[in-house]
Amino acid sequence: MSARRDYGRAGFVGIGAPQANPTVEAEMRILMPPSVAMAVARLTASSPDPLERLSLYLERLEDTLAQYDSLRPQAFGFACTGSSYLLNPERVTRIVVGAEQRFGYPVVTATAAICWQLRRLGAQRIALASPYPPALSEAAVAFWRNAGFDIVESRAIETGSGDTRSIYALGSADARPAVDALRRAEVDAVLLSGTGMPSLALVGGEAGGPPVISSNLCLALRLCDLIGATPPDSSDWRARLTQTLSSEGSR
């Protein structure tokens, strides 16, 4: 990255966010170091079926990256966890490798970033919380078991709808009861799956309890790793989170 750039002196990443998702950009602005610039592209699909939409987001990855035209980020983060749960892992690998070969930069899915972080933590026994409809929740559990992790307990966070877009109306308070219960489980980590549910107020570790991680947190950490940027420091991003929540609450 050229030192002559005004923005992104520490690096430049692309992010793919589902078309109606309001959470990815907000949390990435909090998580990523201010010296890392971001360009967000929308993952789009017009299907009325929520699971087909999720699948198409990943199937159309190269179309999404083509939106950048001549812009070449140092790495791209696919910020939709559910898409990877629905496609065959071999198919996901072919899609990602094909995109990397065509555009010339690394592409990391949210699930790949989570796997990377779980292994860094040495976590094997996992508790899972997700705001998904039943079919997607079952696919999520199957995915992580097939990836070699023990899913000790899984809890659904109710949205009142089978449409995955209803996740975007949630707040972190909606997930807190499930997270508090899962913290008491005998696990190595608690995973909050899904990039659309605000979760930063819940992630981290408490004395005597397992660490709580989220899709967006893992993706931010992995992107920093890929571009050689200093990863987000917990105290720094928590200060930005507090400021953001205080500013929004004062309106």
Give the model's pLDDT for residue 204.
Answer: 86
Class of domain 11-111+218-237 as given by CATH: alpha beta
Give the model's pLDDT for residue 143.
Answer: 97
For domain 113-214, say whether CATH 3.40.50.12500 is its number. yes
pLDDT in tens, 74-107: 999 999 999 999 999 999 999 999 999 999 999 9
Residues 6+ away with beta carbon under 8 Å from 72: 103, 104, 105
pTM: 0.93
Average pLDDT over residues 231-236: 88
Q: How far apart (Å, rounded) are the C-alpha atoms in residues 171 and 156?
A: 14
Strands 125-130 and 107-109, bridge-based pairing = unpaired
Q: Evaluate if residue 163 carries a pLDDT over 80.
A: no
Q: Evaluate if residue 108 carries a pLDDT over 60.
A: yes
> Which amino acid is it at 25?
E
Q: Evaluate if residue 159 carries a pLDDT over 80.
A: no
Do the domains 11-111+218-237 and 113-214 sit in the same CATH topology, yes or no? yes
Domain ranges for the chain:
11-111+218-237, 113-214
CB neighbours of residue 102 within 10 Å: 11
Work out the mean pLDDT of the chain and round it to a whole number. Answer: 91
